[in-house]
Amino acid sequence: MKRLPTIQLIFILLGGLVLLFIVAPLLGMALKTTPHQIFETAGEEEVRQSIWLTIVTSFSGTVFFSVAAIPLAYLLARKNFPLKKLVSGIIDLPVVIPHSAAGIALLGFVSRDSALGQMGSLVGLNFVGHPAGISIAMAFVSIPYLINAARDGFAGVPERLEKAALTLGASPLRVFFTITLPLAWRNIVSGLIMMFARGMSEFGAVIVVAYHPMITPVLIYERFGAFGLKYARPVSVLFIAISLVLFITLRWLAKEKEEK
C-alpha cells in the first residue's frame, strides 16, 4: 500500500477539522430534536407560512434583479470603462457591511418618504412590512454572488467565438443570446442558486425592513427570544432540512440541464 506524503496527511487532517467544525453544530442540533418535534412543528400554520414566504420572496428577488445583474456582469467581464474598479468594489459592499446597517439603509430607501416609497404608494404598495420589501432586502445582500459568478462565466467565454459570429453577420444581441450566454450558463446558474440560497438565510436586513410578515429566520429568532432554545430548535432543523433539499434539487436540475 502506497504511503501518503506527510504534507498530504496534514492537509487531510486540517480539512477534516474544518468539515467537523461545519457539521458538528448542525448534527448536534439535529440529534437533540426528535422526529415528533419536527412533525409537530411542520404542522404549525405559522411555521408553514413563514417557510413558504421565505422561499417565495427569495426566489422573486433573485429572478427580478437577475434581469439587470446579468447584463452588468457581462459589461464588467467584457468592457473597460472609467471607474470600473470602483463599480466592482461597490458590488461587493453588501457582503462587507453589517446586515443590520444594510437594513437601516434600505429602510430609508423604501420608506414612504423616499422616491421609491412614493411610487409604491401610487399603486397602494408600502414596501415596509410587505413581502416586496423582504425581497428587496434579500436581494440587496445576495446579489453580489450572482454578479461575481456571472462575471467569471462571461470572462471564461473565448472572445474569438463572439468575433467570428460578428464577422459572419450576426448582431451583437444574437451573439449574446446564442453564444455568450449559453457558454457562461453554468456560472450564471451557480450564481442564481447561491443568490437564492443566501436570500433565504438573510436575517439582519429583513428584520429592520419587515419584522412582519415573518420569514423563517425571523421566526426562529422570535421563538428563541420568547421561549428559549427548546422551541427554536425544531424550526431551525426543519428549515435547514428544507433549504438543503431545495439547494440539492436545484443543483441536480442544473446539472441535468448541462448534460442534455
Can you give the CATH number for the domain in which 104 is found?
1.10.3720.10
| Mean pLDDT value of segment 153-171 | 93
| Mean pLDDT value of segment 147-152 | 96
Q: Is residue 54 part of a domain?
A: yes
pLDDT at 49 exceeding the cut of 70: yes
pLDDT at 3 (0 to 100):
77
Q: Is residue 192 part of a domain?
A: yes
Identify the domain containing residue 169 by its residue range: 42-215
Q: Is residue 169 part of a domain?
A: yes
Q: Is residue 246 part of a domain?
A: no
Q: How confident is the model at residue 253 (pLDDT cuts 50, 70, 90)?
A: confident
Q: What is the dihedral of CA 158, 164, 165, 171, to 10 degrees?
A: 100
Q: How many domains is the chain built from?
A: 1
- pLDDT tens by residue, 74-115: 999 999 989 999 999 999 999 999 999 999 999 999 998 999
Angle at 142 (CA atoms; ends 25, 206), nearest 5 degrees: 80
| Mean pLDDT value of segment 137-146 | 97
Q: Is residue 256 part of a domain?
A: no
The CA-to-CA distance between both ends of the chain, in Å, stands at 40
Average pLDDT for the chain: 93
Q: Is residue 235 part of a domain?
A: no
What angle do helix axes 45-78 and 84-96 make, rounded to 10 degrees?
160
Neighbouring CB atoms inside 10 A of 139's CB total 27
Q: Is residue 125 part of a domain?
A: yes
Q: Is residue 2 part of a domain?
A: no
